Structure 1
Amino acid sequence: MAAQSKIKASDLIEPGDDDAVELAKRHLVQPWPYAGSVGNEARALIGEGDGIYITDGSGKRLIDGPAGMWCINVGHRREELAKVMYDQAMALSYNTPWYTMNAPSAALARRIADAAPGDLSHTFFTTGGSSAVETALRVMQFYNNVGGRPEKKLILSRGGAYHGSTYLSASLNGRPRDRDWMDGADELVVKLSSPDPFRRPKEMSIAAFTDFLVDQFRDTVARVGAGRIGAFVGEPVQASGGVIVPPDGYLKRIREICRENDILYVSDEVVTGFGRLGHVFASGDVFGIDPDMITFAKGVTSGYFPLGGVIISERLLEELRRSNHPDALFGHGLTYTSHPIGCAVALKNLDLLEEGVLAHTREIAPYFQARLKTLEELPLVGEVRGIGLMACVECVADRESKDPLQLDKNVGKRIDAHCHELGLLVRPLINMCVMSPPLIISREQVDAMVAILREGISRTMDDLRKEGVWRG
C-alpha cells in the first residue's frame, strides 16, 4: 500500500528547497520531455515574480525575457488581478456552462467583440490556446456539415507553424521535431512554406518571395480543390517558429484568396493578441485583415488564469441559424468553458491594457527592436527580427550559408545558461533565442536585457571556439 503523502496545501515549498527538485523527479511529468528523462526531470525552479522580474530557486533575480510563455503581459504581482480573482471566487467560483451562465463571461464577450476586426462578434471561451484552435477547427467542420459540404474539411497550414498540443491542433504544427515521434491527423492537413524572408533563396528579392508564397497558396488551392479545403490557419507572426514576421501585404493577399474560394481564414492570435504588438488584436490593427475566426489565449489574462477562446464571424453564425438543419447539435464544450474567475480576471486585464499598457507597448517597441538589432554586430548572430515586443535572435554558423549550427543544436540553451547566470531568462529554441518581455518593460530595463544577452552570446562564442565547434 502506498504511503500517504504528508504534504498539505499550506506547506508552501520555499524557493531553493531541495524537496521541490526531488518531488518533481519522483512524481511530475514535465511538458515536452524526452523519453530518456520523462518522469525523472527537474527544471529551473521559479519562486517569485514581481513586475518584469522573477526569482529562481537560488534566490537570483532574473529579467523574465519570455514573459512566462508570451503571456505575463501586464507583469507579475499585479494586486489588481489578484484581488479580482479573490473577489470573484468568493462571489461565484464556478458554474456549469451546459445549462447555466455567468455575468463576467457575457461582459467579456462584449468587450472582445468591440475590439475585434470585421464582423467578429461572438466568443466561445476555452481553457487555453490549444483548445481554442481545436474549437475553431470543430466550428469549421460543423459549419460545413450543416451547410451540406461534408467533403470540405482539409486544413491549410505552414512550415514553422505552432498551433497547439491537442490532437487536431498539433497536426497543424510545422516546426522541426514537433511531430517526429507524435501522431496526428495528417490526412486532414496540407502544408505550405513558411513565410520566412530570412530563409528565402539568396538571389530572390522580398517582393519575389512574397509572390512565390502567394502563388504557392493559389496553386495548392487549385490542385487540392477549393471544394475540399475548409480552412487556412495561420499566426500573424509565427511565434514559436522563431518570430517569423511575414512580408508586407502577404497576409492580405492570402485573405483574399481564402475569400474567393470560400475557405475560412482562422487567425491564430494566441501569442499576438492582447497587447504583444500594441493592440488587443493584431489581425486588423497591424496587418489589415478581417478573419472569419480569431483564436486567443495567453495575454487575455496575462497568464494569471488559464483562459482562451475563439471569436466567430457573425456571418458564419447567421448562416448556421438560417440553415435547413436547426436541430443540428454542435457537440463541443469544456467543463471550464466561460469560467467566471478567468473571465473576471480578463476583464480587469483588459482595463489595465487599455488604460496605458497598450500605448506604452506601441511607444517602446521601436526602441526594443532597435536595441536588439545591434546584436547583429556579433558574428554568431545571423539575424535579429521582430515586431512589437516580440523578437528572435537567430544564430548561424556561417552568415553566407545561413547554416543553423548543425554541429551544435543546443546553442540556444548555451546562451540561456550564460544569461541565467548574468540575470536574464531567455527562451532557447535550438539555434535561436526568443525575447518577449512583459509589456511594462522600461527603456532602462530593455538596455539591461540587451546588455546581458550580448554578453551571453559572446561567452557562448568563446565556448564554441574553445571546443572547436565554431571558428567565427
Structure 2
Amino acid sequence: MAAARDLRATETAGAGTEDAVELAKRHLVQPWPFAGSVGAEARALIGEGDGIYITDASGKRLIDGPAGMWCINVGHRREELAKVMYDQAMTLSYNTPWYTMNAPSAELAMRIAGHAPGDLSHVFFTTGGSSAVETALRFMQFYNNVRGRPEKKLILSRGGAYHGSTYLSASLNGRPRDRDWMDGADDLVVKLSSPDPFRRPKDMSIAAFTDFLVDQFRDTVARVGADKIGAFVGEPVQASGGVIVPPDGYLKRIREICRDNDILYVSDEVVTAFGRLGHVFASGEVFGIDPDMITFAKGVTSGYFPLGGVIISERLLTEIRRSNHPDAMFGHGLTYTSHPVGCAVALKNLDILEEGVLAHTRAVAPYFQAQLKTLEELPLVGEVRGMGLMGCVECVADRESRDPLQLDKDVGKRIDAHCHELGLLVRPLINMCVMSPPLIISREQIDDIVAILREGISRTMDDLRREGVWRG
C-alpha cells in the first residue's frame, strides 16, 4: 500500500505534457473506448483555447472545427464568463435544490422561457443533455401516471438519432455502433426511419420521401396504439447522426400527428439551441413547431460549465396540478440541479448571444453553407449538407451507389489526421466529417476551414488510391 501511495505521489508531482499522456494511459478511462484499449489509451492533448482556436500539446494552433462538442458557441477564453464563474463561486458556490433555491436559476428560467415557443414556460435544470432527455422522459411517465394512464409509456425515436448516454436516453439512440455492445430499454422504444433525404431510394422524390416518413409515423401510431405511446423524441437536425436536415414540412406534420393522438412531442435541442441555427431555440423560429417539451444543454453555457435542462409546457403542468392526485411526487432530481455557478454563467452567455452573436450567426451561416458545398466537386464527397453553423461532408465509394461501406471505415479519421496537420480539428464519424465551429467565426476563417478540408480530403483520396482501397 505504501509503495502504491509513493507511486501516485510521484506521478502527480507536476504533470507536464508527457506525464499527462502516461497518467491517462495508467488511470483515465476515456468516453466511448474500445475493449482492446479501454483504460490504457491517451488521446490528443489540448493545452489552450482562444476564440475559435485551440492549441495541442505540440504547440500547433488548430481551428476548433467541432467547437468542442457542439458547445463552445461564444468561443474560448471569454474573460467575462470566467469572471462570472469566479464571482458566483465567491458569493454562493452551491445550494441543495431539495429544500433551497438560488436567484440565478430563477432568473435564467424566466429568460429561457421568454425565448421558448408556444406555452413552454417552466424550466427544470439538469447537468447536461443526457440528463435533460432522461428528465423529459421521466416527466412523461409521471404525467401519464398522474392522469391515470400507466400504460401510455412507449417512446418513438428514429434511426440516426442520438439522445444521450444514460440508460433510458441511450435507448433512443439510432446509430448501430451506439448499441452494438450495449443494453437498452428496448421494450420501451419504437424506432422509425431516419429523415435522411440523401439515403432515400433513388427513384423517390423529396416530396414522396416526406410522405413516406409521415405515413410510417401515422401507421406506427395506429399499429402500436396511441393509448400506449407517451412521447416522440426528435432532434430538429440530427446532429451526431451526420447533420441530417429533415425535409421541409416534415416536423410540422409529425407535430400534428402527436397533437391529434395526445403524444408528447419532445424536441431535443441539445445541439441546435443557443445559437447553432441563429436563434436561442430553433423549434419555433426555424421549423415552426411548438413542442410540449424542449431539452437543451451544451451551448447554454458555451461549454464553460456543465448545465442542461427541460422546458415544459404550461398546459402539462396545469393538468397535473388539476389532477386527483395532489400528493403525487415527481421523484426526480439531481445533486447539481439549478447549480448557481452554472446558471450564472448561462445568464452571461445569453447576454453575449443576444448582444450580437445570434445576429452574426444568421449573417455568416449562408456563406458557411455555400463554401462547404463547393467540396462536392471532389469525387470522394457524396454530399455536403447542413444548416446554420452545422455542416457535414459525407464521403462515399461512388456517387452512383452512395455506398460508404466499400471505403476504409476510418476515412473520416484519415481526413481528420490530415486536417490536424494542416491546422484544423474536425469531428470524424466513420465516413463523415462534421463541422460546427464557434459562432463567432469570420468569413475569412470559414475560408480557412474549407481550404484545409479540401486539402485534407484530397490527400485522403491520394492515400486511398495508393493503397488500392479506392479508385476514384
Q: TM-score, normalised by structure 1?
A: 0.98
Aligned-pair identity (%): 90
Structure 1 residues 420 and 14, CA, compared in 2 at 3 Å: closer, same or farther?
farther
1:141-188: per-residue Cα shift (whole Å, max 9, x none)?
Answer: 000000000000000000000000000000000012100000000000
Q: What is the deviation of 1:134?
A: 0.1
Alignment partners' CA distance in 1, 2:108 and 2:340: 10
Aligned residues: 472
CA contact (8 A) 1:109 1:122 kept: yes
Q: What is the deviation of 1:405?
A: 3.7
1:26-84: per-residue Cα shift (whole Å, max 9, x none)?
Answer: 00000000000000000000000000000000000000000000000000000000000
CA contact (8 A) 2:65 2:437 kept: yes
CA contact (8 A) 1:15 1:58 kept: no
2:53 corresponds to 1:59 = no
Q: What is the deviation of 1:11?
A: 11
CA contact (8 A) 1:385 1:391 kept: yes
Alignment partners' CA distance in 2, 1:427 and 1:112: 29
1:122-153: per-residue Cα shift (whole Å, max 9, x none)?
Answer: 00000000000000000000000000000000
CA contact (8 A) 1:53 1:61 kept: yes
Structure 1 residues 2 and 272, CA, compared in 2 at 3 Å: closer, same or farther?
farther
CA contact (8 A) 2:11 2:23 kept: no
Q: What is the deviation of 1:422?
A: 0.3
CA contact (8 A) 1:376 1:382 kept: yes
1:202-254: per-residue Cα shift (whole Å, max 9, x none)?
Answer: 00000000000000000000000000000000000000000000000000000
CA contact (8 A) 1:129 1:163 kept: yes
Alignment partners' CA distance in 2, 1:95 and 1:12: 31
Alignment partners' CA distance in 2, 1:2 and 1:432: 49
Q: What is the deviation of 1:432?
A: 0.1
CA contact (8 A) 2:49 2:77 kept: yes
CA contact (8 A) 2:396 2:407 kept: no
Structure 1 residues 5 and 115, CA, compared in 2 at 3 Å: closer, same or farther?
farther
CA contact (8 A) 1:15 1:45 kept: no
Alignment partners' CA distance in 2, 1:22 and 1:371: 40
The secondary structure found in structure 2 opposite 1:393 is strand
The secondary structure found in structure 1 opposite 2:23 is helix
Alignment partners' CA distance in 1, 2:444 and 2:13: 33
For residues 149-160 of structure 1, the aligned pairs below 5 Å read: 149-160=149-160
Q: What is the deviation of 1:383?
A: 0.2
1:371-397: per-residue Cα shift (whole Å, max 9, x none)?
Answer: 000000000000000000000000000
Alignment partners' CA distance in 1, 2:46 and 2:168: 32
Structure 1 residues 14 and 440, CA, compared in 2 at 3 Å: closer, same or farther?
farther
Alignment partners' CA distance in 1, 2:173 and 2:270: 14
Alignment partners' CA distance in 1, 2:406 and 2:327: 56
CA contact (8 A) 1:63 1:425 kept: yes
Structure 1 residues 186 and 209, CA, compared in 2 at 3 Å: closer, same or farther?
same
Alignment partners' CA distance in 2, 1:458 and 1:13: 44
CA contact (8 A) 2:11 2:19 kept: no
Structure 1 residues 370 and 7, CA, compared in 2 at 3 Å: closer, same or farther?
farther
2:349 corresponds to 1:383 = no
Q: What is the deviation of 1:9?
A: 12
Alignment partners' CA distance in 2, 1:134 and 1:395: 33
For residues 40-119 of structure 1, the aligned pairs below 5 Å read: 40-119=40-119
The secondary structure found in structure 2 opposite 1:177 is helix
Q: What is the deviation of 1:13?
A: 9.4
Q: What is the deviation of 1:351?
A: 0.1
Structure 1 residues 214 and 31, CA, compared in 2 at 3 Å: closer, same or farther?
same
CA contact (8 A) 1:16 1:45 kept: no
Alignment partners' CA distance in 2, 1:435 and 1:13: 37
Give the structure 1 partner of residue 298 of structure 2: 298
1:85-132: per-residue Cα shift (whole Å, max 9, x none)?
Answer: 000000000000000000000000000000000000000000000000
CA contact (8 A) 2:117 2:284 kept: yes
Alignment partners' CA distance in 1, 2:10 and 2:61: 25
Q: What is the deviation of 1:17?
A: 1.5
Alignment partners' CA distance in 2, 1:128 and 1:407: 35
Alignment partners' CA distance in 1, 2:453 and 2:228: 47
Name the Cα RMSD after superposition. 1.6
Structure 1 residues 5 and 412, CA, compared in 2 at 3 Å: closer, same or farther?
farther
The secondary structure found in structure 2 opposite 1:181 is coil
Structure 1 residues 142 and 62, CA, compared in 2 at 3 Å: closer, same or farther?
same
CA contact (8 A) 1:15 1:57 kept: no
Structure 1 residues 7 and 68, CA, compared in 2 at 3 Å: closer, same or farther?
farther
Q: What is the deviation of 1:407?
A: 3.8
Structure 1 residues 9 and 146, CA, compared in 2 at 3 Å: closer, same or farther?
farther
Q: What is the deviation of 1:295?
A: 0.2
Alignment partners' CA distance in 1, 2:64 and 2:116: 29
Q: What is the deviation of 1:6?
A: 7.4
Structure 1 residues 415 and 434, CA, compared in 2 at 3 Å: closer, same or farther?
same
Alignment partners' CA distance in 2, 1:88 and 1:125: 17
1:267-320: per-residue Cα shift (whole Å, max 9, x none)?
Answer: 000000000000000000000000000000000000000000000000000000
1:316-354: per-residue Cα shift (whole Å, max 9, x none)?
Answer: 000000000000011000000000000000000000000
Structure 1 residues 438 and 399, CA, compared in 2 at 3 Å: closer, same or farther?
same
Segments ≥4 residues shifted beyond 6 Å: 6-16
Give the structure 1 partner of residue 279 of structure 2: 279
Q: TM-score, normalised by structure 2?
A: 0.98
Structure 1 residues 7 and 264, CA, compared in 2 at 3 Å: closer, same or farther?
farther
Alignment partners' CA distance in 1, 2:137 and 2:414: 38
Give the structure 2 partner of residue 8 of structure 1: 8
Structure 1 residues 9 and 348, CA, compared in 2 at 3 Å: closer, same or farther?
farther
Alignment partners' CA distance in 1, 2:11 and 2:180: 40
Alignment partners' CA distance in 2, 1:352 and 1:12: 38
Segments of 5+ residues of structure 1 without an aligned counterpart are none
Segments of 5+ residues of structure 2 without an aligned counterpart are none
The secondary structure found in structure 1 opposite 2:177 is coil
Alignment partners' CA distance in 2, 1:14 and 1:416: 31
For residues 32-431 of structure 1, the aligned pairs below 5 Å read: 32-431=32-431
The secondary structure found in structure 2 opposite 1:20 is helix
Q: What is the deviation of 1:8?
A: 11
The secondary structure found in structure 2 opposite 1:10 is helix
Alignment partners' CA distance in 1, 2:465 and 2:385: 25
Structure 1 residues 333 and 388, CA, compared in 2 at 3 Å: closer, same or farther?
same
The secondary structure found in structure 2 opposite 1:379 is coil
Structure 1 residues 5 and 92, CA, compared in 2 at 3 Å: closer, same or farther?
farther
Alignment partners' CA distance in 1, 2:389 and 2:10: 37
Alignment partners' CA distance in 2, 1:13 and 1:376: 50
Q: What is the deviation of 1:10?
A: 15
